[in-house]
Amino acid sequence: MKQKISLNQTYLILTTLFSVVLVLTNIIGVKLFQGPFNPTAHALTTGIITYPLTFLLTDVVSEIWGSKKASTMVLIGFLMSFVMLIFLQVALYLPAHPYWVAPNNPFGFETIGEYQNAFNSVFSVNGKLLFGSMLAYMVAQLLDVRLYHMWRKITKGKYLWIRNNGSTTISQLVDTFIVNSILFYWGFGWEFWQGISVMFTIYIYKLILAALDTPLIYLSVAIIRKKFDLPNAMAEYS
């Protein structure tokens, strides 16, 4: 006999997924790639691929479980990112073994030092960049939760798309400005307007992705409400 998943277990699954996506974003986000519409002019961080999913998950949890559970999920994600960074630092300082140098490797590395430098170039974290990333994450995610419930209260549970996109639009703007201003100014040494141009491009892409996830939040909320026989949001204000 199959054991049914409870509402609390569903929350734990979403929190786990949130933490995995957040940790993945921290790992891949250091790379810049060419935007699809104007590759020579538009530089985007690879974190844009995964990070918007965290706002979707935050909004789903906010809608079903409330602001306290959503804020708890944000704090758990922060803790998991911190744990990941600790283990990465340990891995960076462990001495490399000669067996690491594989014969006929596809990357052209011939010495332990080359392997270690490649590993360091990907996983080394600048303290200022780390501070900016974690600061932006905490401010934007907790702001998203507050704004979501503000819109929910104003609309009395109606218009899910307004609170989903309204909260994400503002919180993503805050996140984009904080993390990328630190990344581009301290990390890359860019001029102010060069960084602003890239930030604007990144933000536009984030808005597009936020709009595209609107059907997903409707679908996710509908599935959870139906599975656990939960009332809709408007019932709370009737």
User: What is the value of pTM for the model shown?
Assistant: 0.86
The band of 128, judged by pLDDT with boundaries at 50, 70 and 90, is low
For position 194, what pLDDT does the model report?
67
The band of 29, judged by pLDDT with boundaries at 50, 70 and 90, is confident
The band of 104, judged by pLDDT with boundaries at 50, 70 and 90, is confident
Residue 3, exposed/middle/buried by CB under 10 A (0-12, 13-18, 19+)?
exposed
Range of weakest confidence among 27-31, 57-61, 147-151, 203-207? 27-31
- The pLDDT of residue 186 is above 70: no
Distance CA 92, CA 117 (A): 10
For position 1, what pLDDT does the model report?
46
The band of 175, judged by pLDDT with boundaries at 50, 70 and 90, is confident
For position 125, what pLDDT does the model report?
67
For position 193, what pLDDT does the model report?
66
- For domain 7-237, which CATH number applies: 3.40.50, 2.40.160, 2.20.28, 1.10.1760? 1.10.1760
Length of the chain: 238
The band of 25, judged by pLDDT with boundaries at 50, 70 and 90, is confident
For position 169, what pLDDT does the model report?
92
Residue 34: helix, strand or coil by DSSP?
A: strand
Distance CA 189, CA 62 (A): 38
Helix then strand then coil, in percent of the chain rounded to 5, is 75, 5, 20
Which stretches within 29-46 are classed as H helix?
A: none
End-to-end CA distance of the chain: 39
